[in-house]
Each structure stands twice: as structure tokens, then as C-alpha cells.
A and B are shown apart, each in its own frame.
Chain A
């Protein structure tokens, strides 16, 4: 680098740039959090849904599936599974409930999690709530996720 550009100048760009853009990120975060109620479907965030989210977590569903595009890419996207399953929580529950314990020969298969009927309902309600989140451009692009 040329001599006219000194180490001091480089250091100032670092400190100035880092502080400035960190403040910008904080400002944008405040604005985002404030405007979330318009899109985040929190009006439907019931205790049942919260319990469903916990089940989603403690069974590590994200280890195979994506949810709003984040997670593993081994199994289908579930952010719109409620729509894909004909807006039926019963269909979602039945799918999870009847997974074969020993899997399917030669194929990927979801484990049997032995959830109770109450837990199945909570998980299905959670997935229904996620489907109600208003994502930009109504992502995913189509029903296949």
C-alpha cells in the first residue's frame, strides 16, 4: 500500500467503521423488533404453540428439516407444511404418529418419537402458527417448500 495511506488512517477506518455500523445494526434491530407484530403471527402464539415449539426443539427437528429455510437440508421444509397438508393439523399429527420404528428399507425415514396425543396436537399447532408468519414475498416460492 502507498505511503500516503498510513497505519493511523487504517486504524481510524476500523474503529470508526465498526462503531458506526454496529450502531446502525442496533438501530435497525430496534425498528425490526417494533414492527414485528405486523408479520410475526404473535396473535396466534398460544401456550399450546409455545409448548409445541419446545417439543420441536427437544426432538431436534431442525437436525433434518428446514423451518423458514433454516436448518438441515435432509428433509422437507416445514414452514408451509400446514398449507401443503391441506390445512389439516390432523394430517400432520397422523404423519408424525405413524412413522415406522425401524424405518423404511433403503430410504430416509423420520424417527418414531412416541409423542402423546396432547404433544402431537401442540406440535401441529406450532407448525400451523409458523405457517401463519407473513414472510416477505410469501416465501417459500411454492407449496413444495
Chain B
């Protein structure tokens, strides 16, 4: 760690991982509700558990992105962070807002929360992933602006690298597109159309910029490969992400009352969306093979390679499976979507944050890399979580295929709930994989505390 202010990232990463645990606990709760419908009913109905599960994911990934930026930007810019104080203050504001919102979901009925937070003044609640009370959304905007100001000033008054600038572009995009969450027209088609300007343009747009720049940074650090080479890859990857992903938004406009031409545009452009992810895989393996040094942090290298592979599988392959309009006609809004969502979020965004954590945490704790025992444990937890996620995805995909056939495709379509009973054994299998994931996560956290022989420092 070259600059003292990079250490602020530690705070953000600890919060991120704590919230990650909460997310998974609610995940296994929901998984159980899928097969034991009355579990925790009516205290924590499914909709509340789901809201907590998805919102915790978003909040902890944002903590992860911010922590990553605070670690990476000073080093790239070759100066201390513009205002370490502001970064600390914003951390506590964001954490308080996040925790209060989650408690609000859990402790009062959602309609009462809407009332308490005066949703009527500017109704934005009750839309998928954007369930936060309006006041929380305003808080998110304030935190994001302060964060971007802080990072922006650091970048602009320091050394400007491609990694810094791409990351900054991604973060600005994240803040700008979030503003669409305040637009909630009565016309449902319009509402849905612009809702995707937050959701799609985040995860299939600007977040890919953030992800690619974080990955590029870690790869430079652990492989020692020439910056010129890595920056060229970075540009071409994010170029493909935006060229395919912007009009690729159209794959969400097939069946919501929007014009028919979206079926063509959405199919064609989103069929290109796997390309940037495939290039990320090529990129990661390419530079690791050409490495000029063997970095003592083997776990970080594994996370970086894992991110590239799993993002390609989850976002690329599983996305492509159901993105063509004639296929999506049958699969839209089934467990196929859930399968894709799980592996894509884990592979792309969870893993890239854990890559940054893996690389930077030892440095912030005054080590080159975690000790041998800790790394061994971390690598084991990598495999357990990743393989569990592969199985969660496979079981949900199987459930989805059955659901599509029984409910949508067969000559005699069955009602939704009848079909759910038919496919329950896949949900049980998914739940087992979910608990295995939780076990992997516990092991992962334990790896930060375990003692062992120091790693040999081979430069």
C-alpha cells in the first residue's frame, strides 16, 4: 500500500462482507419458502425476504465498488485521496441508511414503511430492486455525488491512467442512470421502459466498465504485464460492452407493450453481449500466461481468473440461452431468468469485488499476501462458493425448463401453482446447494483470521 488513504477501503470491504452474509442468510430463507410455503409466514413473507436479499446484494456491491475505488484510485493517480474525511463520513451515512432501510423492510409492513417515509410526495417505491423508500434513494444520490466528487478530484488532480478514467466513467454512469429511479409514471409501459434504464444500463452497461477496470488493475498488479497491453484490452472490452449492451437493452422490450421492432434489435444486439465477457476471459488468461512475476497472492490470481470465467458463463452463456425473442417468448419471467440472474451477479460482480478484496486486504493489513494457511482456506472457499453457484444455476435451469414446458409449451398447459409442485425436487436440490454456498462463505470469512506460515516473497 503506497498511500495511507487507500486504507479507507478496509472499512468499506468489512461492511460489504457483513452485508453479503445477510444476503445469503435471506437467500437460504427464501429457498426454503419455495418448498415449505408457510416457513416464517406471516412474520417474514417471501416478498420481504426477497427484497432484503436483492437490496442487500445491491448495497454490498456498491460498498465493494466504493471500497475498490478508494483503494485503486490513489495508487493509480499517485496521490493521496482528495478527502479521506469525506470518504469516512460517507461510509457511516451509507451504512446507516442501508441498515435502517433493511430494518424498515423487516420491522414494519411495507405499506406502513411507504406511509412513514412519505412515499406519496414522490412515489418511487414498490418496483423490483428499487424498493427503497424515496428518502433512501435521495440519500444514495447524495452519497454517490460526494463519492464521485472525492474520486473525481483525486483522478483529475493526479496521474490520469486509462484504468482510473474508465472506472470514473463507470461510476458517473452508475450515478446518472440511478436518477431514472425517481421517474415513476402511472402508465405501466412507460414505467417499465424507463425502469430498465436503471437496471439494464447498470448491470449490462456501466457496471461492466467498473468491473473491467477493477479486473485490469488487479491483473497489472499480480502479473506485472505491461500497462500498454492491458489498457488496449480494457478499451476493446468496454467498447464491445457498450456497442452490444446499449441497444441490447431491447431484449427487455419484447413483451411489455413496446413496438415489435425491439424483438429484432433486442435479439441481435443482446446476442453480441457475450462477446465482451468472452474477451475478458481471453484477456485474463492471456496476461496471466504472459506474467512477468509470480505474485505471492495466489488466491487473488485465482479470483481474477474465476471472475472472467464465471462472468462469461453466467452473464454471457446463460444470458444468451434465453435472449432471442422466439425463445424468450416462452422463458420470460420463469426460473430460467432466476438461474441467469444468480450466476451472472455472482460471476461478474460478486467475484470482481472479492478479487479486489483478496488482492488489497493483505496489503492493508501490512502483508504482501495472506499467510499460506489463510490462502489455502480462501482458495477452498472460492471453489465451494463457485461450484455451489454452478449447481444453484443448474438446478434452477432444470426447474425453469420443466416450468416452461408444463406451463407454457405443452398442449395442455397447467396452472402456475400446480407446476410449482411438480418441480419442487429441483428447488430442494437448489436449497442444498444454497447451504453449501453459505458454508463456503463462512470458510471465506474464517480465512481472514487464521494464522499460519508467511508466504515466501518471490518477486
Cβ B258 vs Cβ A32 within 8 A: yes
Count, A-B residue pairs, CB within 8 A? 230
Which of A39, A106, A134, A144 has a CB less than 8 Å from the CB of B408? A144
Contacts known (A1-B233, A58-B114, A69-B332); A40 close to B190, Cβ less than 8 A: yes
Cβ B232 vs Cβ A6 within 8 A: yes
Cβ A39 vs Cβ B126 within 8 A: no
Cβ B334 vs Cβ A73 within 8 A: yes
Contacts of A134 in B (CB 8 A): 257
B45 sits at the interface (CB 8 A): yes
B82 sits at the interface (CB 8 A): no
- How many residues on B have C-beta within 8 angstroms of the other chain's C-beta atoms? 77
Cβ A73 vs Cβ B337 within 8 A: yes
Contacts of A135 in B (CB 8 A): 255-257
Bound-state Cα–Cα, A17 to B272, Å: 14
B188 sits at the interface (CB 8 A): yes
Which of A24, A61, A139 has a CB less than 8 Å from the CB of B255? A139
Scan residues 73-103 of chain A and give those whose CB is less than 8 A from a CB of chain B: 73-77, 101-103
The interface stretch among B66-74, B139-147, B238-246, B294-302 is: B238-246
Q: Please report A residues at the B interface, Cβ cutoff 8 Å.
A: 1, 5-7, 10-11, 13-14, 17-18, 21-22, 24-25, 28-29, 31-33, 35-36, 39-42, 45, 49-50, 53-54, 56-64, 66-77, 101-109, 111-113, 129-130, 133-137, 139-145
For this complex, 10 residue pairs linking A to B, each with C-beta atoms less than 8 Å apart, are: A53-B186, A58-B114, A63-B48, A68-B188, A73-B334, A76-B415, A109-B41, A111-B42, A137-B255, A144-B415
Q: Please report B residues at the A interface, Cβ cutoff 8 Å.
A: 33-34, 36-38, 41-42, 45-48, 50-51, 110-111, 114-115, 119-120, 123, 125-128, 131, 162, 184, 186-190, 192-193, 228-229, 231-233, 235-236, 238-239, 242-243, 246-247, 249-250, 253-260, 262-263, 265, 329-330, 332-335, 337-338, 407-409, 413-417, 420
